[in-house]
Amino acid sequence: IKRTVSADQATTCPKCYADVPPGTSFCTDCGTSIKVTNVSNSAINEELRKRQEMREGNNPVKGDTVDNVVESGKGLMKGLGGFLNKAAESIDKNIEKTRQGQYTSAKENNHNLMETPGYLVCDECGGYYELQQGESADDFADECDCGGNLEHKLRL
């Protein structure tokens, strides 16, 4: 097996994979011949030109590629925008339902408070006063006759 390398490059033996010093024509470990040639710039340039032609022949023009990416990106964004709009509408509906439910339950709670004003209960002696329709806990003092604090409670 012969390998072509430039004279100033160190290489590896293709048979035993030992390092072969630059300028040596054979492997010092196994004796495999290493062909050393001078590589000219024209050969390198020719190879590069061939590769460039192959790449240009297989690839679309760069401007077309960018335009295709931009167009497909617009399509993706349009689809994503539609998806996000639907998701946002769904979220808005859920929020509105929740708000309606909270408003309704707050109205019901206020209505229940109006029907059952509750009790003022002393935290010391346990005595209580049942508030009458139209009375509020704010209409009374916060202190019981025994010196305890009166607390407003809906149930005993």
For the ranges 7-16, 70-79, 88-97, 143-152, the maximum mean pLDDT occurs at: 143-152
**Residue 7 banded pLDDT, cuts 50, 70, 90:** very low
- Among candidate residues 58, 79, 96, the one where a domain is terminated: 58
pTM value > 0.75? no
pLDDT of residue 32: 87
Element (H or E) spanning 105, and its range?
helix 62-115
pLDDT of residue 2: 47
Q: What percent of the chain has pLDDT over 70?
A: 65
d(CA 122, CA 68): 79
Asked whether the predicted pLDDT for residue 142 surpasses 70, the reply is: yes
The answer to whether position 17 is within a domain reads yes
For range 18-24, the mean pLDDT: 83
Token pair for 143:
């202190």
The dihedral of CA 119, 122, 123, 125: what is its sign?
negative
Q: pLDDT digit string (tens) for 26-44?
A: 888 998 887 756 556 677 7
The dihedral of CA 90, 94, 97, 99: what is its sign?
negative
The answer to whether position 82 is within a domain reads no
Range of the domain at 136: 119-153
The answer to whether position 94 is within a domain reads no
The answer to whether position 104 is within a domain reads no
The answer to whether position 141 is within a domain reads yes
Residue for token pair 């539609």: 82
Token pair for 97:
């339902």
Give me the number of domains the chain comprises: 2
The answer to whether position 90 is within a domain reads no
The answer to whether position 102 is within a domain reads no
